Each structure stands twice: as structure tokens, then as C-alpha cells.
Structure 1
Amino acid sequence: MGNNVSIKKGDTVLVIAGADKGAKGKVIRVLREDNRVVVEGVNLVKRHTKSVQQGNGANTGGIITVEAPIHVSNVMLVEGDGVTRVAYRRDEVTKRRPDGSTYEATRSVRVSRKTGKEI
């Protein structure tokens, strides 16, 4: 399966579909195998957690609110004031080996489709 997720952890994204449409948030986690991302403050669900007795006598339990993953197709990368699609460009770079010698290699960089600038 080709799981090419162009969104990374720490990116700011805009939700473009679903119940939280229009919400902006930071990506907390990327679940590549499921093509899903977890966005801060988006797709909040209530979890009923069983109270577990900790060593110091603290009870962790009750109803907590956590972010659930949303599909990567429902978010777009925010760049400047608007949103953009993501392209990839191969850049020629000079790399250095531990012994001090150098060699030419290519590096894949994310590029904004709108401005053409590196992200």
C-alpha cells in the first residue's frame, strides 16, 4: 500500500471537511499506516477510563476528552494566510563522509504548490 502522507508532526493544518470544518490546529501525531493525523483540539471524543490504583494512592479514572485521528485527506497544510498542496523536489546536496571526503547526493524536500517555496 502506498502511504504517502505529506503532513508532518508539528505542521499547522486546516480541517477542510467533516464536523470540525474550518478549525486550525497543530499536528500532534501522524499515523502513516492508517493515513490519519491527530490534530490539537480537533475531533474531540470523550473516553470513559477505568480507575486504576496508582502506587502513590492517586486514582486515574472518569471521563476524559481526547483527540481522535482524522483522515489526512480532510486536512490541508496552512502556509501564510492560506492553504496549499504539497509537492516534492529533489535537491542536489554535497554530503560529507566521516573521513572528511565529500560526495554529491540528492535530498527530497517538501515544496508549496502555491508559492514554490520550501516548507
Structure 2
Amino acid sequence: MAKKAEQSRKKPNLHVKKGDTVKVIAGKDKGAEGKIIKVIREENRVVVEGVNRVKKHTKVVDQGGTTGGIITTEAPIHVSNVMLVEDGTVTRVGHKRVEVTKRRPDGSEYSSTRSVRISRKTGKEI
């Protein structure tokens, strides 16, 4: 029973990372480009700078020194609504395994593979 609960809490892998430049392909901000500020893997959402801006009303906190007011901030959007931008155009993301040489703590080396993201349009590593 515990094993099944563990599997349901597994975080999904996403096609974008923090720092990637993306273009919004659906929603009210369609066509906007921006950099990813935050990735929320548990909810399949990303926060993109300058996209999906909302106004938050904050309370006045006397002892904390925070003043109340209205703050404009970015809200998360679903990861399916963004596409990675590479060389000025949007592209899908693929993965491939590449050979690498790794070093053990004792100094000996061995060959292994690791996964890298590639552009589906150009085939180049991202």
C-alpha cells in the first residue's frame, strides 16, 4: 500500500527548465515571450516573467513593517501552454543519450551515458 502512495507522489519531468526563454502558445498572453522564473513540478506549472500578471491585495502588518496595498505579480501558467524558444523560433524538445567519461573518487575513469535535451527542429543540444 505504501508503495502505491509513493508512486502517486512522483514529480513529473517537464520539457522546460528555470532560465529557459519560452513563448506562450495559448491563453490570454498568447505570443508573449519571457524567461522562466520558477518551475512548480508538482502542479505542472511555470512562472514566466511578464506573463499572466495579476494584482494581489496585501494587508497592513503593524509589527512586520509591511505596508498594505496592491502588488502586481506573475501567476503560474500550465507548462503545456509554453514552448521553448531557440535562435528566435519555437521548437519542440527531445532527449538523447550521449557518451561521457566519468571519474571515480580513486581517480580511475569509466565510460557512461547521460541524457541531454535537444532541439527537434535543428537537432542541436540545448
TM-score, structure 2 length as denominator? 0.88
Q: Which residue in 2 is equivalent to 1:67?
A: 74
Structure-2 change in CA distance of 1:99 and 1:60 (3 Å): farther
Aligned pairs, number: 117
In structure 1, C-alpha distance between the alignment counterparts of 2:95 and 2:41, rounded to whole Å: 18
CA-CA distance at 1:50 after TM superposition: 1.0
CA-CA distance at 1:53 after TM superposition: 2.8
**Aligned: 1:108 with 2:115:** yes
2:105 maps to amino acid: P
1:27 maps to amino acid: I
Q: Which residue in 2 is equivalent to 1:77?
A: 84
Structure with more of its chain in helix, by fraction: 2
Q: Secondary structure in 2 aligned to 1:107? A: strand
CA-CA distance at 1:54 after TM superposition: 4.6
Unaligned runs of 5+ in 2: 1-7
CA-CA distance at 1:98 after TM superposition: 1.7
Identity over aligned pairs, percent: 74
In structure 2, C-alpha distance between the alignment counterparts of 1:10 and 1:114, rounded to whole Å: 20
Q: What's the RMSD between the two structures over aligned residues?
A: 1.4
Unaligned runs of 5+ in 1: none
In structure 1, C-alpha distance between the alignment counterparts of 2:62 and 2:125, rounded to whole Å: 49
